[in-house]
Amino acid sequence: MATHPTASQPVPPGPVDAHVDERVNPPAPDGRGDGAGSLPLKHCPRCGHSKPLSAFYTRRNGRPSGYCRDCQRSASRANYERRCQDPAQLAHIRALDRQRKQRSRVRRGSGVAS
């Protein structure tokens, strides 16, 4: 394993996500050890904070999501509330969901195409 130039601990090899800040946390002000346990950080563009990877959801491909869990939850909640306010938008979304589900059933061979 290679050593990161700003850290005394090795950086594990593996796929690199463009949004992951691979620098470890800087040393504590008194110079003893590192500030917060040497966790890799990722920057959330919505809230502007750098957080440990455990604060992000993991996508199906194993990489962290673009936004932290808190920002992702608040965005999902806002979208849900916004869509439920407009009956026409809600009907449109339900129609799209029915079509998508129907296509999925046809692909799996477990349903009848209409």
- Report the first-to-last Cα separation within the chain, whole angstroms: 56
Question: Rounded to an integer, what distance in angstroms lies between the CA atom of residue 68 and that of residue 72?
Answer: 6
Q: How confident is the model at residue 97 (pLDDT cuts 50, 70, 90)?
A: very high
The residues, any chain, with a CB within 8 Å of residue 25's CB and separated by 6 or more, are 34, 35, 36, 37, 38, 39, 41
Tens digit of each residue's pLDDT (9 = 90 or more) over 36-74 = 556 799 999 999 999 999 999 999 999 999 999 999 999
Q: Share the mean pLDDT of the chain.
A: 77
Q: What are phi and psi of 68, to 5 degrees?
A: -65, 165
* 83-111 per-residue burial string, b: 16 or more CB within 10 A, e: under 16: eeeeeeeeeeeeeeeeeeeeeeeeeeeee
Question: Rounded to an integer, what distance in angstroms lies between the CA atom of residue 36 and that of residue 39?
Answer: 7
Q: Residue 1 pLDDT more than 50?
A: no
Nearest alpha-carbon partner for 24 in 48, 1, 49, 53: 53
Is residue 50 within 8 A of residue 39, CB to CB? The reply is no
pTM: 0.50
More confident residue, 19 or 71: 71
